[in-house]
């Protein structure tokens, strides 16, 4: 008589129920193995993300330090620009006072016209040079500020 079941080591035929239970156990093991592979992959991805997060934190730290340094430089440049504007304003006031005094001296006859023209010409040249120098400094600082603001 032919039977599809084979003998086990004890010489007895395995029970069909045991074979089905073994198949279920194997399926559960395979499912567990698949889950472990997925968990392992997930852990690897988490580790990669953790490393990338650390790298991004480092980049952020360096960027914050750069920003702080640039902000300090910018504040220094702003203070310098304010000083230069104040100097320019003071020089303008002095020129106006000198021009007024010269005009008064000329009107009272203390200065003849040639001397006045000569003094005014020299004063104008001197003040124009100083004003132009201050304007150049202000323009340079403004360009630097504009460049810093772009970044």
Per-residue pLDDT of the chain (151 residues; tens, 9 = 90+): 444 445 455 555 555 566 677 778 888 888 889 899 999 999 999 999 999 999 999 999 999 999 999 999 999 999 999 999 999 999 999 999 999 998 888 788 777 778 778 888 998 899 889 989 999 999 988 888 888 888 6
**The whole model's pTM is what?**
0.42
Up-side HSE of residue 54: CA atoms within 13 Å toward CB? 6
Backbone torsions φ then ψ of 146, nearest 5 degrees: -65, -40
Distance of CA 26 to the CA centre of its chain: 57
- CA pair distance 3, 12, nearest whole angstrom: 13
User: Domain coordinates of the chain in residue numbers?
Assistant: 16-150
Whether 89 and 53 have beta carbons less than 8 Å apart is answered as no
Whether 139 and 88 have beta carbons less than 8 Å apart is answered as no
């Amino acid at each position: 008589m032919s039977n599809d079941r084979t003998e086990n080591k004890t010489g007895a035929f395995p029970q069909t129920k045991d074979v089905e239970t073994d198949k279920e156990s194997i399926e559960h093991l395979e499912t567990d193995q698949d889950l472990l592979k997925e968990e392992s992959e997930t852990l690897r991805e988490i580790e990669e993300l953790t490393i990338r997060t650390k790298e991004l934190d480092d980049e952020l730290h360096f960027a914050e330090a750069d920003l702080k340094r640039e902000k300090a430089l910018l504040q220094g440049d702003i203070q310098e620009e304010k000083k230069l504007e104040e100097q320019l304003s003071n020089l303008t006031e002095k020129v106006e006072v000198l021009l007024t005094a010269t005009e008064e001296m000329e009107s009272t006859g203390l200065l003849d016209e040639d001397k006045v023209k000569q003094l005014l010409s020299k004063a104008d040249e001197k003040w124009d040079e100083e004003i132009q120098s201050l304007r150049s400094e202000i323009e340079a600082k403004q360009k630097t500020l504009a460049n810093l603001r772009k970044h």
